[in-house]
């Protein structure tokens, strides 16, 4: 293809309608037709990135190979497309203004008055086209966060208006995602919110080319015709997005609605192939037709908001399908785990995952959960802080290092088995200053982790500031906690295992960031398999007793 085509996805009426899933589903269909496709997210908040945001504010912070702390929607993009994203795939207002102000300070605007138009909008347009200009992609889909009419989104909408005009009709289109609510008192679907949303978009100079309508009920032909007439789109471009059992159904639903066909027609691209979704549909069949069930406890402190652990939950879906089991995840708040409640909360589970996080709230509950898993031979996976809690628990209860801790929780602990990296000690800024992105790890022969990956070297994504303290390594090794993954450059411990346990693994990195439909992460696959084996053993023992 001579020119990169651009698709912009905007939203109206309400937030949380699923722009990211629609963008990822369309990208999947276009990719399945042979088009090289990527997706980027424009976020209107003024934070430079989500790295300093509380998970309750914005869900999980997703980390890319190049160390970018990004919006969780990039996780959807990677899980659907199995294509890595980067810093270029996520742009925030904070980053836009930071860049423009730095240019002004360097004198790049030659004394001009710096304004939203043209300076901010030019910066936005430049960022939108970075992925398209590198020659790697035929189609770039850009999701614009927030809803049309938000004051924060106005510069992005204006940049899209300009860019659509500059690129020409055949090279860019706008998909507008809206809500068609069902009023139970009237017993009917209402189109007026969508009409108003499209009108607001047109007031900004943008005409929607395709409408995707979120709905709980089927859209009749009459409603589609009404929306087409009043929103100035073709009837074939009124796409229904009805509630789905799983987000992984959405590509097939969009295929049935013809979203990819309409898109190709409007971009003047060949529509001479059928999307190849064979592998995708095999995954769906395994996911929807499990042969068994396992219960895994997710021990965390942000469990009230499911998006806080989005990548972990999706990784369990991928691993469950690979093992042909349904993974029932029980979210357990670590603040409510103690010696009086732990038996009730954990004893019925087939495995526990102690989740990542920051700060001391809920730490003791996580440590109690680790101890239960260690003493009762329950399959255990600790991720980042979860791995550190396993180290602290072992130090306290096996090595008898009284009040061993991380210096994150207790700066004056007598036994800092988890400590801050030396190069981090003088850092005062919070954003983007951790060990971030993909780091190498050498695996030890004969370990669980080596068996899981089936190779000597791996590269996994990190997001943390505190590390396993190598000063205590010899004590841990002698007592049965082995360091089985080591960073070759720094000597930092990346993986720990218990020798006298059927399946107990803690990792300093975040494996959940790399799990996709096409490539379920081997660590999650192995953990779910271990939980399934535990479940079968437990059932066999109960059968013997009865």
Q: Is 112 annotated as a binding residue?
A: no
Q: Would you say 192 is a known binding-site residue?
A: yes
User: Among 176, 510, 521, 534, which one carries the catalytic annotation?
Assistant: 510
Confirm whether residue 386 is marked as ligand binding.
Answer: yes
- Greatest extent of the chain over all pairs of C-alpha atoms, in Å: 86
Q: How far apart are the C-alpha atoms of 368 and 345, rounded to whole Å?
A: 11
| Residue 497 is assigned to a ligand binding site | no
Q: Is 5 annotated as a binding residue?
A: no
3-state class (DSSP) for residue 405: strand
Contacts 24+ apart (CB under 8 A), 265-272: 266/170, 266/173, 266/209, 266/210, 266/237, 267/5, 267/7, 267/139, 267/170, 267/171, 267/173, 268/170, 269/1, 269/5, 269/35
Instruction: Give the DSSP letter string of 443-464.
Output: EPTTSHHHHHH-SSEEEEEEEE
Q: Known binder of ligand: residue 195?
A: yes
Residue 102 is labelled as binding a ligand: no
Tokens describing residue 366: 């996580």
- Does the annotation mark 512 as catalytic? yes
Residue 522 assigned to a binding site: no
Which tokens sit at 155?
């510069």
170 is in an annotated binding site: no
| CA-based nearest residue to 170, from 269, 35, 38 | 269
Coil, strand or helix at 339: coil
Does the annotation list 205 as a binding residue? no
259 known member of a binding site: no
Residues 6+ apart with CB under 8 A from 535: 292, 293, 294, 295, 350
d(CA 500, CA 458): 25
Q: Is 244 part of any known ligand binding site?
A: yes
- The catalytic residue among 61, 213, 384, 441 is 384
- Confirm whether 384 is a catalytic residue: yes
Rounded distance, CA 174 to CA 155, Å?
16
Are 454 and 460 spatial neighbours (Cβ–Cβ below 8 Å)?
no
Residue 410 known to bind ligand:
no
For residue 493, what are its two tokens?
Answer: 């411990």
Residue 120 annotated in ligand binding? no
- Asked if residue 449 belongs to a known ligand binding site, the reply is no
226 annotated binding-site participant: yes
Helix or strand holding residue 236 (H, E): none
Question: Beta-carbon neighbour count of residue 191 at 10 Å?
Answer: 19
Buried/exposed 311-332: b ≥16 CB within 10 Å, e otherwise: bbbbbbbbbbbbbebbbebebb
Active-site residue (options: 158, 314, 494, 512): 512
151 is in an annotated binding site: yes
363 is in an annotated binding site: no
Residue 536 known to bind ligand: no
357-361: long-range contacts, CB 8 A cutoff, minimum separation 24: 357/300, 357/301, 357/302, 357/384, 357/385, 358/385, 358/408, 359/408, 360/408, 360/409, 361/301, 361/335
**Known binder of ligand: residue 193?**
yes
Binding-site residues for UTP: 15, 190-195, 226
Binding-site residues for CTP: 15, 150-152, 190-195, 226
Binding-site residues for L-glutamine: 56, 357, 385-388, 408, 465
Active site residues: 384, 510, 512
Binding-site residues for Mg(2+): 73, 143
Binding-site residues: 15-21, 56, 73, 143, 150-152, 190-195, 226, 244, 357, 385-388, 408, 465
Binding-site residues for ATP: 16-21, 73, 244
């Amino acid at each position: 293809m001579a020119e990169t085509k651009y698709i912009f996805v905007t939203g109206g009426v309400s937030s949380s309608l699923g722009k990211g899933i629609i963008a990822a589903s369309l990208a999947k269909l276009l990719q399945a037709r042979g088009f090289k496709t990527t997706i980027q997210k424009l976020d209107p908040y003024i934070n430079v990135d989500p790295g300093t945001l509380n998970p309750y504010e914005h869900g999980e912070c997703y980390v890319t190979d190049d160390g970018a702390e990004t919006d969780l929607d990039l996780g959807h993009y990677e899980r659907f497309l199995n294509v890595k994203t980067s810093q270029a795939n996520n742009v925030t207002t904070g980053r836009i203004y930071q860049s423009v102000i730095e240019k002004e300070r360097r004198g790049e605007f030659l004394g001009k008055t710096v304004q939203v138009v043209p300076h901010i909008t030019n910066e936005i347009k430049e960022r939108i086209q970075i992925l398209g200009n590198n020659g790697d992609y035929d189609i770039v889909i850009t999701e614009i966060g927030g809803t049309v009419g938000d004051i924060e989104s106005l510069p992005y909408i204006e940049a899209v208006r300009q860019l659509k005009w500059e690129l020409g009709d055949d090279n860019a289109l706008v998909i507008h995602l809206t809500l068609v609510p069902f009023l139970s008192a009237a017993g009917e679907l209402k189109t007026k919110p969508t009409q108003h949303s499209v009108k607001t978009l047109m007031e900004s100079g943008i005409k929607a080319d395709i409408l995707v309508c979120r709905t709980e009920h089927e859209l009749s032909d009459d409603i589609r015709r009404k929306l087409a007439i009043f929103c100035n789109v073709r009837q074939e471009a009124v796409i229904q997005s009805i509630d789905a059992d799983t987000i992984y159904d959405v590509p097939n639903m969009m295929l049935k609605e013809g979203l990819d066909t309409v898109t190709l027609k409007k971009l003047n691209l060949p529509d001479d192939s059928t999307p190849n979704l064979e592998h995708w549909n095999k995954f769906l069949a395994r996911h929807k037709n499990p042969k068994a069930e396992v219960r895994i406890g997710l021990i965390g402190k942000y469990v009230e908001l499911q998006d806080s652990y989005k990548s972990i939950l999706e990784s369990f879906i991928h691993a469950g399908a690979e093992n042909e089991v349904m993974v029932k995840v029980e979210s357990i708040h670590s603040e409510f785990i103690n010696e009086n409640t732990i038996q009730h909360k954990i004893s019925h589970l087939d495995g526990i995952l102690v989740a990542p996080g920051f700060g001391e709230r809920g730490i003791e509950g996580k440590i109690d959960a680790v101890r239960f898993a260690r003493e009762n031979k329950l399959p255990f996976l600790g991720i980042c802080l979860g791995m550190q809690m396993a180290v602290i628990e072992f130090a306290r209860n096996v090595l008898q290092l009284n009040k061993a801790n991380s210096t994150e929780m207790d700066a004056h602990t007598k036994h800092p088995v988890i400590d801050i990296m030396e190069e981090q000690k003088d850092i005062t800024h919070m954003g983007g200053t951790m060990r971030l992105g993909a780091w190498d790890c050498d695996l030890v022969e004969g370990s669980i982790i080596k068996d899981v990956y089936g190779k000597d070297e791996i590269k996994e994504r990190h997001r943390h500031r505190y590390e396993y303290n190598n000063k205590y390594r010899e004590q841990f090794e002698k007592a049965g906690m082995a360091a089985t993954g080591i960073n070759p450059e720094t000597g930092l411990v990346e993986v720990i295992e218990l020798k006298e346990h059927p399946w107990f693994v803690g990792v300093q990195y975040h494996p959940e960031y790399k799990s996709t439909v096409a490539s379920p992460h081997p660590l999650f696959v192995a953990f779910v398999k271990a939980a399934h084996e535990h479940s079968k053993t437990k059932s066999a023992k109960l059968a013997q007793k009865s």
